[in-house]
Structure 1
Amino acid sequence: MNDNERPVPPKGLGDAIRSSVADSVAEARAGVAQGAEGLAETLGGLGGEIRAAVEEATREVVGPSALRGLAHPLRVKILDLLGTHGPLTASGLGELLGESSGSTSYHLRQLAKHGFVREVEGKGTARERWWERMPGGFTIDALENRDDPATRMATDMVNAEFERARQEKVWAYLRSADQTAEGWEHTGVLATQNLRITAEQLTKIVAAWEDFSREHLEPLHDQRDVPGARPVQVHFNAFPVIDPAEGTR
């Protein structure tokens, strides 16, 4: 899962460019230490391809404490809604989730405590604050801390809730096929291809997808003010199918 969360081991820079951007990665990490402005200034001076690679290399991996802070069904739903719809208030989230504003407000504060959301500057009042997801993405490393039962349970729960949210959107799309807004009737597709390939071939497919995403999808973020634009999700799942016998070993 790309864009905002990926339950796979994080990847660094490719071998072909690692040596050429090692210094840039170090500078970018220094920029992270200085805050968002420092990172933005550092990345601004890099070429497009190298900048994307550095951003990937410095993508934050969610640590055990933050992961356990996220491990609540309602918090995952709130994070998912903020990613899909953009900034919302606690009241607005409550209406979408069928929860009280007091409940969503509490969970928003917990998400903010662990660095997943933040208040929107210059918008709202002391009584009605607006919240947004933190910019950039994060990685949930499914193999990290697998020996720690609490972290393993938190990882499984968060991944399951994000996947449930995706599936709910797919079913909503299928159920509303006859209610799609004009101009959007034939724009979506759900496709599956069953292959028998090697681990190296799968790695190349995922790398090609990431290249495509950087080139074609990332420039389309933050188009809330573009006339005719609406929330859209793009899914790309590529993973080895687990044989039932493997799961019983």
Structure 2
Amino acid sequence: MPKTEGDDSAATAPDPKVLSIDARSLRGLAHPLRLRLLSALREFGPATASGLADRLGESSGATSYHLRQLAAYGFVEDDPERGKGRERWWRSVHAGAAFDPEFLHDPDPEVRGAMGVVLHEVATMHAQELNTWLGTLHEWSREWYASSDLSDFKVRLTPELSKELADKVHDLVNSYRGRVPEGTEGSAVVRTHLHVFPRPTD
């Protein structure tokens, strides 16, 4: 099942703080705008409701309401280092989240539906990130273009081997954490998307 993360600290820290989602928090998270707000806070750092509204093309009233909902479920919190004026600053509590695969088979249809919302929104955000990269290739150096990758593979596996493959890729990505200090010249935060899923054979 998916693990999602977004901010620079998750990209450079050796052991990012990952929240294990329970059924209650899953229902609280399962809204497209809440997922986008949380992703933006993880990727770009603390922000106000109005700042997030500008970034996401939403009204500040909507972002303010959904930030309060995210706070009620423990996903975001006030940022005391910035919230000294009239504006309220928010930050993500966790660097990432992990989901229980049993949510898709939960007897409660609301839980199954919430998991579906999260999965489809994560897939949509992955596609948007990839399309943004492709649309801005000309802004990056030839070295970054040559070091990027857009590949897909087909291999016959059992469910056990498919999980082993995904786990090994997770371990490989995590082995690169902390190797490049923040602010290193020529470095950038690299996004790696992993999609492993079966396909029909007929």
Structure 1 length normalisation: TM-score? 0.67
Find the residue that maps to 1:121 and give its secondary structure. coil
Q: What's 2:196 paired with?
A: 238
How far 1:222 moved relative to its partner?
A: 8.8
1:116-155 maps to which residues of 2 (within 5 A)? 116-144=75-103, 146-155=106-115
Structure 2 residue 197 is matched with structure 1 residue 197? no
Whether the 8 Å CA contact 2:20–2:98 is kept in 1: the answer is yes
Q: Secondary structure at the residue paired with 1:75? A: helix
Question: Separation in 2 of the partners of 1:124 and 1:91?
Answer: 13
- Post-superposition Cα deviations, 1:107-135, rounded to whole Å, max 9, x if no partner, equal 11110110111122221324222222112
TM-fit CA distance, 1:187: 3.2
| Conserved? CA contact 1:89–1:131, under 8 Å | yes
Q: Which residue of 1 aligns with 2:147?
A: 187
What residue in structure 2 maps to residue 12 of structure 1? none
- Of structures 1 and 2, the one with the larger relative CO (CA 8 A, separation 6+) is 2
Identify the residue that residue 214 of structure 1 maps to in structure 2: 174
C-alpha contact (below 8 Å) 1:85/1:231 kept by paired residues: no
Unaligned runs of 5+ in 2: 7-13
Match among 127, 134, 137 for residue 177 of structure 1: 137
Counterpart Cα distance in 1 of 2:157 and 2:65: 47
Contact 2:46 2:89 in 1 (8 A): yes
Aligned residues: 193
1:10 maps to none
Higher Cα Rg: structure 1 or 2? 1
Counterpart residue identity of residue 151, structure 2? A
Identity %: 32
What secondary structure does 1:138 align onto?
strand
| TM-score for the superposition, normalised by structure 2 | 0.80
Report the Cα offset of residue 102 of structure 1.
Answer: 2.4
> How has the CA–CA distance of structure 1 residues 192 and 244 changed in structure 2, closer, same or farther, with 3 Å as cutoff?
closer
